[in-house]
């Protein structure tokens, strides 16, 4: 039994309060570069609205990062700073990652059909993979430029302008990071959150450029390429976090707490005797779920069907990211499942329920 999530749940609050073990500087930095994820997002936006909001965030961030990168490129030309060049390259790559995301959000608007029976939401996850690859390639370019400058030192000029470019780079990237991660969490887009982390790393590497400028001004010329190497390492950290999140999405991994929450919500519906075989997957920034619920075997079809409807309705309220739920009704008792029991044992490695 399947149904699209079309109910209006804007008046429903779905908040989670979590205690984090780490605190202080370490916890703060960890949250910046890898914000705590719950595997689901409390968004009451319908798919059309969430796609439109994602495109809006992408457009704004593209313009801001392009303006920032162009300004930095001009300063690179008049200063020769390899650290600023590395930061500028990364800013350009970050701006360009908005393009595949834009395409993905646009594709997600298309209705599903006989070939793409689940729709086009997975395009967003593929865009996330492309973003991870682009971040990694930009890290390689940063390492190459920094090592070349260590082997062949060159004097820097216009240090004041380089410092100004670094500060503007930080402001621009942090603004984009805040926008992307906030909207990404609102609509449940792992790719957009990953792109936000990308921008946040750029912002802190811009501050690294500023440290390099200070080092050069104090008489340590190698500070500039050394900061470039530090930037490369910071980018690789972002690559690791983003790649991990995209792996989870492509492998249909979810936070176990979500599965438990769905099972608990369904079990509380009157008439449900047991809940089992809960499966959930992300397709882009929307979730689809399947589960089996047991009802008394003597119940008529209409009564059992109403229980399935009640379960689905409860889940749509409890998990606003769910766009579709399949509820399979099982009559309580092992006797009703003997026909396919051996298939379940072979495919799932478990005894028939």
Q: One digit per residue, pLDDT tens: the chain, 353 residues?
A: 444 444 444 333 334 444 344 445 455 444 444 444 433 344 434 555 677 888 888 888 888 888 888 888 888 887 877 767 777 876 777 777 778 888 888 887 888 899 988 888 888 888 888 888 877 887 887 788 778 777 877 666 777 888 888 888 889 888 988 898 888 888 877 778 877 877 877 777 777 778 777 887 888 877 777 877 887 887 788 788 888 888 888 888 888 888 999 999 999 999 999 999 999 998 877 889 999 999 998 899 999 999 999 999 999 988 877 888 999 999 987 666 667 766 666 555 544 44
Whether the CB-CB separation of 174 and 203 falls below 8 Å is answered with yes
**Angle, alpha carbons 182-187-192 (nearest 5°):** 60
Q: Where are the alpha helices (DSSP H) in 80-121?
A: 82-96, 98-107
The CATH number of 41-250 is: 1.20.1510.10
User: Which pTM was predicted?
Assistant: 0.65
Pairing mode, strands 286-295 and 274-283: antiparallel
Residue 1 DSSP class: -
Token reading at 254: 């979810």
Strand stretches in 184-341, DSSP E: 274-283, 286-295, 322-331
The CATH number of 256-348 is: 3.30.70.1350
The CB density around residue 301, as the number of other CB atoms within 10 Å, is 8
The CB density around residue 59, as the number of other CB atoms within 10 Å, is 12
* In the chain, domain spans: 41-250, 256-348
Q: Residue 107, SS3?
A: helix
Whether the CB-CB separation of 102 and 176 falls below 8 Å is answered with no
């Amino acid at each position: 039994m399947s149904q699209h999530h079309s109910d209006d749940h804007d008046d429903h609050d779905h908040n989670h309060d979590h205690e984090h073990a780490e605190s202080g500087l370490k916890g703060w930095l960890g949250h910046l570069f890898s914000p705590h994820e719950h595997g689901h997002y409390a968004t009451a936006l319908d798919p059309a609205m969430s796609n439109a909001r994602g495109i809006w965030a992408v457009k704004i961030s593209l313009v801001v990062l392009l303006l920032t990168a162009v300004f930095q490129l001009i300063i690179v030309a008049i200063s020769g700073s390899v650290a600023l060049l590395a930061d500028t390259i990364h800013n350009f790559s970050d701006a360009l990652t908005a393009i595949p995301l834009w395409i993905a959000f646009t594709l997600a608007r298309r209705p599903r059909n006989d070939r793409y029976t689940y729709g086009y939401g997975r395009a967003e996850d593929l865009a996330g993979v492309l973003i991870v690859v682009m971040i990694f390639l930009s890290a390689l370019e940063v390492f190459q430029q920094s090592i070349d400058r260590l082997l062949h030192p060159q004097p820097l000029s216009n240090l004041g302008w380089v410092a100004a470019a670094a500060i503007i780079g930080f402001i621009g990237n942090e603004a984009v990071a805040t926008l992307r991660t906030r909207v990404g969490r609102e609509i449940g887009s792992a790719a957009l959150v990953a792109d936000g982390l990308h921008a946040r790393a750029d912002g802190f590497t811009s501050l690294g450029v500023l440290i390099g400028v200070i080092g050069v001004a104090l008489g340590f010329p190698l500070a500039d390429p050394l900061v470039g190497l530090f930037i490369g390492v910071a980018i690789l950290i972002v690559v690791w976090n983003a790649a991990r999140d995209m792996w989870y999405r492509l492998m249909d991994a979810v936070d176990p707490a979500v599965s438990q929450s769905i099972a608990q919500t369904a079990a509380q519906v009157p008439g449900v005797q047991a809940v089992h075989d809960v499966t959930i997957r992300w397709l882009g920034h929307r979730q689809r779920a399947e589960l089996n619920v047991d009802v008394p075997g003597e119940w008529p079809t209409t009564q059992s069907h109403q229980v399935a409807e009640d379960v689905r309705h409860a889940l749509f309220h409890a998990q606003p990211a769910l766009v579709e739920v399949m509820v399979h009704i099982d009559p309580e008792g092992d006797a009703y499942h003997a026909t396919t029991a051996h298939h379940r044992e072979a495919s799932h490695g478990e005894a028939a329920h």
